[in-house]
Amino acid sequence: MMESGVPLCSSCGEAVGLSSPSSKGAFVACHGCNYPLCRQCLNEELNEGKLDCVRCGEPYIREKVSANPEGSGGRLTMAAHLHEDNALHARNLSSLSAVDSELNDESGNPIWKNRVESWKEKKEKKNAKKKDRKESQIPQEQQMEGDVNTAAGQPLSEIVPISRNKLTSYRAVIILRLIILGLFFHYRITHPVESAYGLWLTSIICEIWFAVSWVLDQFPKWSPINRRTYIDVLSARYEKEGEYCDLSAVDFFVSTVDPLKEPPLITANTVLSILAVDYPVEKVSCYVSDDGSSMLSFESLAETAEFARKWVPFCKKYAIEPRAPEFYFSQKIDYLKDKVQPSFVKERRSMKRDYEEYKVRVNALVAKAQKTPEEGWVMQDGTPWPGNNPRNHPGMIQVFLGNSGAHDIEGNELPRLVYVSREKRPGYQHHKKAGAMNALVRVSAILTNAPYILNLDCDHYVNNSKAIREAMCFMMDPQVGRDVCYIQFPQRFDGIDRSDRYANRNIVFFDVNMKGLDGIQGPVYVGTGCVFNRQALYGYGPPSLPSLPKSSFCSWCCSCCCCCRSKKAAEDEVEVYKDSKREDLNAAIFNLKEIDNYDEYERSLLISQMSFEKSFGLSSVFIESTLMENGGVPDSANPSTLIREAIHVISCGYEEKTEWGKEIGWIYGSVTEDILTGFKMHCRGWRSIYCMPLRPCFKGSAPINLSDRLHQVLRWALGSVEIFLSRHCPLWYGFGGGRLKWLQRLAYTNTILYPFTSLPLIAYCSLPAICLLTGKFIIPTLSNVASMLFLGLFISIIVTSVLELRWSGIGIEDWWRNEQFWVIGGVSAHLFAVFQGFLKMLAGLDTNFTVTAKASDDAEFGELYVIKWTTLLIPPTTLLVLNLVGVVAGFSDALNSGYEAWGPLFGKVFFALWVILHLYPFLKGLMGRQNRTPTIVILWSVLLASVFSLIWVKIDPFLSNTDSTIASQSCSSIDC
């Protein structure tokens, strides 16, 4: 009987076999990367002249192989592999099933011991003709060496570089601006303003910080690129007619918490768009995480599953876009365009009527859920709903579609739809969204185990039905996809006003910054619309990760030999240091020094079991799934047993004393777990890819009113501050492996330092008004050289922006909105995030800034005009009033002082107007609908204006020093 844990050949699908009959180690074709290839396929490769490994490029045979193929010349033991590759390839070679950790079925027979045989039977059953066409069909991991015009030889994607003329001029201006900045600071520092030394020093500190912030933001955009995909080539290569589809499976994750704040109808549209995606149904599974254990979410998902039986075949029959019904039926376009079937109009009307009825049923559930019964919710069979207490309930899993036997109205199979609500108990740390996502990772690994995972927020639907194919053009490319941890898609939004007053679209970030990062090591993970390589989420390094240094391997080998034990003691300190560095960057690491008293084979088994259980938790079924790089579950698996195991892996205590949230899955420690998770992957040596198809793949909804937008920015900024104060700060984390590129490190440093720009920004926005009120200025009288420096700096700033717009393709309005909201968010949300972050991390105080919602009567963009008072509005309001009072005071002083005062006034007013123009969208937001200003804003304005007016009168700017002295003397002489 075949031993479980022996990998399958990547060419023929057979087990690679053992090195020799007496050996327990698997046969190894490439000692460098452990490429799974059986002996027969290796001989065929060598006979064809292919001497190098297709994965790592190293020669297949490093040592001379003896005439006996089963001799020791080509042997490398399992334990040696586990140590040499630093547990990276342990997932291929683990013999976990050989130890006593199997799960038995009801009859006592082991389910998982014969896993490899089940895989083999499944492959032979679905792909019976694979061996017959093996010589004519090239495996996924190899390149085509035949006719370049065939589909197998064409690339699945390509890089479209930015025009050299655009990039050369862009880089030249960046360097020129850096030089001008140096000369500018030399002048500013060497020419202090003695009469306003405090203001001058404050301005210098602020300007230096702005320069550093600009460098952190600018240089990661040094090498922007575009990409193009060829989904037709993907289909021709992996979806041949009459043959088994070789496209990889994908698990979708959708997370929701509170159905009253996240309407079930919105979540349902996201789920329906996933179920109707243009991809083989047997390759798609949708997991919905209900972290609020709401019966409303469960019942609405049951209604959604029933409506999907009609909606999915309709979408695929007529190839409609988008496949979220709410957004499809609300389109103001000619829906008959390109639809020539006579029956389309009739079926569309019928489907729209069915959808309206479905909406009525869901809305009725929502109305019913507004008031919770005293005895709690009861299910249809009369039993109490297990999740009545959202903080104390068992784990719940319900499979609605898929293996349950549900088909659409035409009798076709539907994708799997699974409801998941993880267990929650008092006294346990559940880690909010990151913990829910990690629970989905484990559940999906038990039930479907797709090699790729696509996560979406509940309000982000699939706008392009070919989105998965776009991602697979990178993931399934044998050259591009081997080191890719995730494919990030840009976020696009519906329901935003045309002018995008509060920069909700984030066009500059998604169309400029992310393209720049794609040219380095890849874009950052932004929390949604991302396709993950499951192996990267498990904490493994990429296949091209260099093996351990030879000295380390030799040191460990010597420690196993009695004659060399003296060397071990001398190298213990160095090895412990190296182990700590590896443990910092790789999960699934086990200290080999703790098990020296075993023979080689026993040690390999013990390392496999102990290291994986220490990292992944005590579930043999889940651990077995992590060893399957190509995913899938055995045909012999019992569905009821799988469900029981899935319930086990979402229990509260499962993650205790494991690496979950530390090195595996979504990383804990920040409310912006997305940035932290992507950062850890890049530190391990992975790269990511940015995919921007012409038709946006995903669309969502954004908070478009001012208060909600500021609250969203506050949460992002708070997460950045938390990362800055944690051990994962990019300023000092991840240097041991040397796998994070320097420009990528600059980009991550910028993501955690940008909230601190709020402190100098507040000061700099206050300086113009202070200068106008005091009559002083931060800049001395300018010479010709100084004037040229100031002019050159402003010109370089403008030219840099223009060239950025040129190669990125964004509009000047989008750029200007981004600049405005950079100031608005900086003086409000970012400032509060800094203080809240320090209070939370250093003093343990968690301060929440709540927002009170109000209803709106407007049908379109009604939320845009809603004013929800929050403390975040105080700082920008104060700055606005301060600068407006300053401008009035400056002009009053100039009118009183005469012609000579107008020259200095120009510079002061220019900076004050710069502040007011940037805060103009904030001012419009305060005005609300129909220019009605909230009473609280009027009170603040009157109060602040009174305070600054009193200060102004105290300063007495209408009188010069001489005049004030004479007036005081005259007053005293007449005894006034």
Contact (Cβ atoms closer than 8 angstroms) between residue 386 and residue 293: yes
Tokens at 702, concatenated:
């954004």
Q: In what order do the strands lie in the sheet with 396-401?
A: 396-401, 416-421, 284-290, 250-256, 452-457, 530-533, 484-488, 687-690
C-alpha of 358 from chain center = 33
Sign of CA dihedral 135, 140, 144, 149: positive
Reported as a pLDDT band with limits 50, 70 and 90, residue 21 is low
Reported as a pLDDT band with limits 50, 70 and 90, residue 942 is low
- In the chain, the percentage of residues whose pLDDT exceeds 90 is 24
Least reliable range by pLDDT among 100-104, 461-465, 667-671, 926-930: 100-104
Kindly report the backbone phi and psi dihedral angles of residue 146, in degrees, each rounded to the nearest multiple of 5, phi listed first: -100, -130
Mean pLDDT over 906-917 rounds to 83
Task: Give the containing element (helix H, strand E) for 346.
Answer: helix 344-368
- 544 exposed, middle or buried (CB, 10 Å; 0-12, 13-18, 19+)? middle
Least reliable range by pLDDT among 489-493, 537-541, 598-602, 790-794: 598-602
Position with higher pLDDT, 704 vs 292: 292
Cα dihedral value 148, 153, 158, 161, nearest 10: -30
Q: What is the largest CA-CA distance in the chain?
A: 123
pTM of the model: 0.75
Report whether the peptide linkage leading into residue 322 is cis, meaning its omega lies within 30 degrees of zero: yes
User: pLDDT tens digits for 203-239?
Assistant: 999 999 999 999 999 999 988 999 999 999 999 888 8
Least reliable range by pLDDT among 194-208, 605-619, 830-844: 605-619
Q: How far apart are CA 186 and CA 260, in angstroms?
A: 57
What structural domains does the chain harbor?
A: 8-58 (no CATH), 233-369+377-542+659-702 (3.90.550.10)
DSSP β-bridge partners for residue 399: 418
pLDDT at 554 exceeding the cut of 70: no
Q: How far apart are CA 735 and CA 727, in angstroms?
A: 12
Mean pLDDT over 737-756 rounds to 89
Reported as a pLDDT band with limits 50, 70 and 90, residue 406 is confident
pLDDT at 265 exceeding the cut of 70: yes
One DSSP character per residue, 449-491 reads --SEEEEEETTEEESSTTHHHHHHHHHT-TTTGGGEEEEEPPP
Reported as a pLDDT band with limits 50, 70 and 90, residue 105 is very low
Look at residue 177 in the predicted model and tell me its pLDDT: 92
DSSP β-bridge partners for residue 26: 18
Q: What separation in angstroms does the CA of 424 have from each of 299, 307, 651?
A: 20, 31, 8
Catalytic residues: 291, 674
Q: In what order do the strands lie in the sheet with 698-701?
A: 460-462, 698-701, 492-494
Helix 758-774 / helix 935-955 crossing angle, nearest 10 deg: 50
Mean pLDDT of the chain: 75
The CA-CA-CA angle for residues 27, 32, 33, to 5°, reads 75
Reported as a pLDDT band with limits 50, 70 and 90, residue 81 is very low
Least reliable range by pLDDT among 88-102, 173-187, 342-356, 693-707: 88-102
Reported as a pLDDT band with limits 50, 70 and 90, residue 867 is low
Neighbours of 698 (CB within 10 A): 24
Q: How far apart are CA 409 and CA 612, in angstroms?
A: 45
Tokens at 83, concatenated:
């140590």
pLDDT at 407 exceeding the cut of 70: yes
Sign of CA dihedral 116, 117, 119, 123: positive
User: pLDDT tens digits for 564-607?
Assistant: 443 444 344 444 433 433 344 343 333 333 444 445 555 455 55
255 belongs to an annotated ligand binding site: yes
Contact (Cβ atoms closer than 8 angstroms) between residue 866 and residue 856: yes
Look at residue 330 in the predicted model and tell me its pLDDT: 87
Look at residue 318 in the predicted model and tell me its pLDDT: 87
pLDDT at 87 exceeding the cut of 60: no
Neighbours of 178 (CB within 10 A): 15
When mean pLDDT is compared over 110-119, 268-277, 639-648, 800-809, the highest value belongs to 268-277
Reported as a pLDDT band with limits 50, 70 and 90, residue 13 is low
Reported as a pLDDT band with limits 50, 70 and 90, residue 871 is confident
Look at residue 892 in the predicted model and tell me its pLDDT: 76
Look at residue 705 in the predicted model and tell me its pLDDT: 75
- Beta-carbon contacts of 311 under 8 Å, excluding residues fewer than 6 positions away, are 272, 275, 276, 323, 325, 351, 355
- 850 exposed, middle or buried (CB, 10 Å; 0-12, 13-18, 19+)? exposed
Reported as a pLDDT band with limits 50, 70 and 90, residue 243 is confident
Mean pLDDT over 805-822 rounds to 88
Mean pLDDT over 23-44 rounds to 73
Tokens at 138, concatenated:
């090239």
Look at residue 32 in the predicted model and tell me its pLDDT: 63
pLDDT at 973 exceeding the cut of 50: no
Contact (Cβ atoms closer than 8 angstroms) between residue 492 and residue 911: no
Mean pLDDT over 693-705 rounds to 86
Look at residue 499 in the predicted model and tell me its pLDDT: 79
972 belongs to an annotated ligand binding site: no
337 belongs to an annotated ligand binding site: no
- The DSSP call for residue 757 is G
Collapsing DSSP to helix, strand or coil, 233 comes out as helix
Reported as a pLDDT band with limits 50, 70 and 90, residue 938 is low
One DSSP character per residue, 202-217 reads HHHHHHHHHHHHHHHH
- Beta-carbon contacts of 116 under 8 Å, excluding residues fewer than 6 positions away, are 2, 3, 4, 5, 6, 8, 15
Reported as a pLDDT band with limits 50, 70 and 90, residue 850 is very low
291 belongs to an annotated ligand binding site: yes
Contact (Cβ atoms closer than 8 angstroms) between residue 330 and residue 356: no
433 belongs to an annotated ligand binding site: yes
Say which residue the tokens 């999960």 belong to: 587
pLDDT at 888 exceeding the cut of 90: no
